[in-house]
């Protein structure tokens, strides 16, 4: 039976049937470095488990930021402090924006954004709070 499509469908130029991909060597594919899982606990009790390449103990961080609350987490449960050092205070995106802009600047930016929405007629005036 003859097919109406080319026999090279799905292959790239220069590849012969049965050849290995160019980016892989003759070594066994899938060999990986040994890894270890390291738990960290913050002062609020959140546990974070991170995976590191197996390194000497002194090269694995003793502290890590908790992804749930932003406090410092330690490798030993109950060892983390509730507070950070003054230079390490956790700041949200809004905190950084408030450092750059005053309340008056924020009102101007908001008014401009609302005006652009009105001009594009994206939202009715009732939803924008001016009706």
CB distance 50 to 37 below 8 Å: yes
Listed in sequence order, the DSSP H helices in 26-131 are 93-100, 103-120, 125-128
pLDDT at 8: 54
46 burial type by CB count under 10 A (0-12 exposed, 13-18 middle, 19+ buried): middle
Q: Report pTM.
A: 0.43
Which has more confidence, 108 or 82? 108
pLDDT above 70 coverage of the chain, percent: 62
Instruction: Please count the other Cβ atoms lying within 10 Å of the Cβ belonging to residue 126.
Output: 8
Tokens of 62: 């003793």
- pLDDT per position as a tens digit, 27-69: 555 668 899 999 999 988 899 999 999 988 889 888 888 888 8
Mean confidence (pLDDT) of the chain: 76
**Which of 49, 127, 40, 128 has the alpha carbon at shortest distance from 78?**
40
């Amino acid at each position: 039976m003859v097919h109406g499509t080319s026999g090279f469908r799905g292959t790239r130029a220069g590849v012969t049937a049965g050849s290995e991909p160019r980016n892989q060597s003759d070594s066994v594919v899938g060999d990986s470095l040994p890894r270890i899982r390291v738990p960290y606990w913050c002062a609020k009790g959140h546990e974070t488990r991170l995976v590191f390449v197996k390194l000497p103990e002194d090269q694995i961080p003793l502290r890590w930021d908790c992804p749930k609350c932003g406090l410092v987490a330690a490798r030993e449960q109950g060892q983390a402090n509730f507070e950070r050092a003054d230079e390490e205070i956790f700041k949200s995106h809004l905190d950084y924006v408030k450092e750059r802009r005053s309340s008056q600047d924020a009102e101007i930016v908001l008014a401009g954004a609302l005006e652009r929405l009105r001009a594009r007629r994206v939202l009715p005036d009732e939803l924008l709070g001016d009706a």
